[in-house]
Amino acid sequence: MKKKTRRIIFWFIVGLFIVGGAWLLVYSFGYRINWQTLEIRQTGGLYLKTSPKVTDIFLDAKKTDQKGSLLSSGIFVQNLFPRSYQLEISKDGYFPWTKQVKIVPTLVDNFTHIILLSRSPLKESIYSATSTEEITDFLPLGSQKETILELREKNKLGWFGVLEIFDKGNATTTEIFRKKINRDESPDLLKGLATDGPDANQIIFSNYDRASSQTVFYLWNRLAPAAPTNFTQIVAKYNLTKVKKIIFHPFEDNKFIVETAKKIAILDLNRNEVSYLSAENPLDFAVSGGNLFWIDKDGGVYSYNFILKSTSPWAIIEDEKLQLKDWLVSTNSHNVAVLLAVGKLILVQTGQPPKILSDAAQNFAFSLDNKKLAYSDASGQVKIYFLEDLTQDITKKSGDEVVLADASDNSVSQLIWHKDSCHLIVKSGEEIVFSEIDDRDRLNVFKYQFGPGHYFLEDDGVIFRATASLLEKINLAISE
């Protein structure tokens, strides 16, 4: 080979190396050739997590090569040129999830809480009442294997209110309590019910006794299920009268928290002693984590730490006629939401003065991650108030609000957060609504009609619905 030829080959290879190396460098920075416009531009991408995992992905109605699988934790759609795309996630038998997404050069847009709901949710019959029974109320226990049923039952002696535990797995029923009632009277036995844990080995419940014109509290134990103990008589031995509420102590067995008209007491039946918190004239109390919170008739909000045995004042709620409708404490004990009878929703946070969120609120709920508060107003509008800054997927500042415009068309009776804290389940009239809170472009909102009845919503997308004759379980979020 001639020297000149070798030199040409050498410089040709050097040129290829330089061009190829430059192209690899440019490629590594996300630059691609758009063959439609013949432009070289930096690209972006999408990272998607879906439930169910096996889904199809479409961009501008064109199916992509990427597909979710049971083994993948997420889906990365890359090399997308900067512009807006119509993203659709679909699966046979499910409602599609769609959103307009805007791709930005060098950035990956995250959608890590995409949930598709089945067009035909799974339904399971839990309990069918007999011809002499009516289901008036119910409470699923934590394992969802057992359900506490409140029934109206008729026999030859008249009408009775019955409280019982039904175990669907074993098809067994354990009666807790029975009382004589009038024909049109509701048993009203689930009001104020408390358990010692998800398995409910012990249950505290109350019953208004017409003969004595007072509310009597009872303690039922699985180890001695034949008859509940009159707990009002027991606490009266410790000078605890005019009892309004009793719950189990969150950390110690055979220990109880008792609220009277004047005080809040901790009753220790192991030591046969009672101690009092500094609460005076409490309206109500609640336990969250290692703390007990209460509100008194003067609007004072206080907390008591079970470990340190210390009391801390939080705030004073000022209102001319302080009438408490409902209130909640977040699971991290950093936030208290108070709903007054006039509709005023007040947020109390550690180290901050009370803040009025609404003058016409109806329902509210803290998210499980303690970063959001959902509430509805008298018009049926549902809003999300952000308690902390949020940077995952959507970016929000503390104090921002998102309106879930399509989540309700009328009055909202129940609100519960999905366990991912990124979706809300709403009971609106006879409609069940499942809505995301990601307000980038449109909100994906799924609606169902299951008919009239008494509903109980679970945070995993399971719904219990009862009519007078049937209790059924409906699973909205079916994962595969």
| Residue corresponding to tokens 């046979």 | 92
Question: What six digits make up the tokens of 177?
Answer: 């309590």
Q: How confident is the model at residue 405 (pLDDT cuts 50, 70, 90)?
A: confident
Beta strands across the sheet bearing 97-102: 62-67, 56-59, 84-90, 97-102
* Rounded Cα gap, residues 46 and 144, in angstroms: 37
Question: What six digits make up the tokens of 153?
Answer: 């039952």
What was the pLDDT predicted at 468? 96
pLDDT tens digits, one per residue of 347-357:
999 888 999 99
Q: Which residues are registered as beta bridge partners of 189?
A: none
pLDDT tens digits, one per residue of 98-152:
999 999 998 899 999 999 999 999 999 999 999 999 999 999 998 668 999 999 9
Strand bridging mode 146-155 / 158-167? antiparallel
Q: Which of 11-15, 81-85, 262-266, 375-379 has the lowest mean pLDDT?
A: 11-15
Question: What six digits make up the tokens of 16?
Answer: 């290829």
* Rounded Cα gap, residues 395 and 188, in angstroms: 45
Residue 236's SS3 state is helix
Mean pLDDT of the region 287-307: 96
| Residue corresponding to tokens 């619905």 | 465
Question: Which amino acid appears at position 112 of this protein?
Answer: T
* Rounded Cα gap, residues 94 and 55, in angstroms: 10
Q: How many secondary structure helices (H) and strands (E) does the chain include? A: 2, 41
Question: What six digits make up the tokens of 49?
Answer: 């997590």
Cβ neighbour number for residue 193 with a 10 Å cutoff: 18
Of 55, 48, 103, nearest in space to 79 by CA = 103
The H or E element that residue 16 is part of is helix 3-28
pTM recorded for the entire structure: 0.88
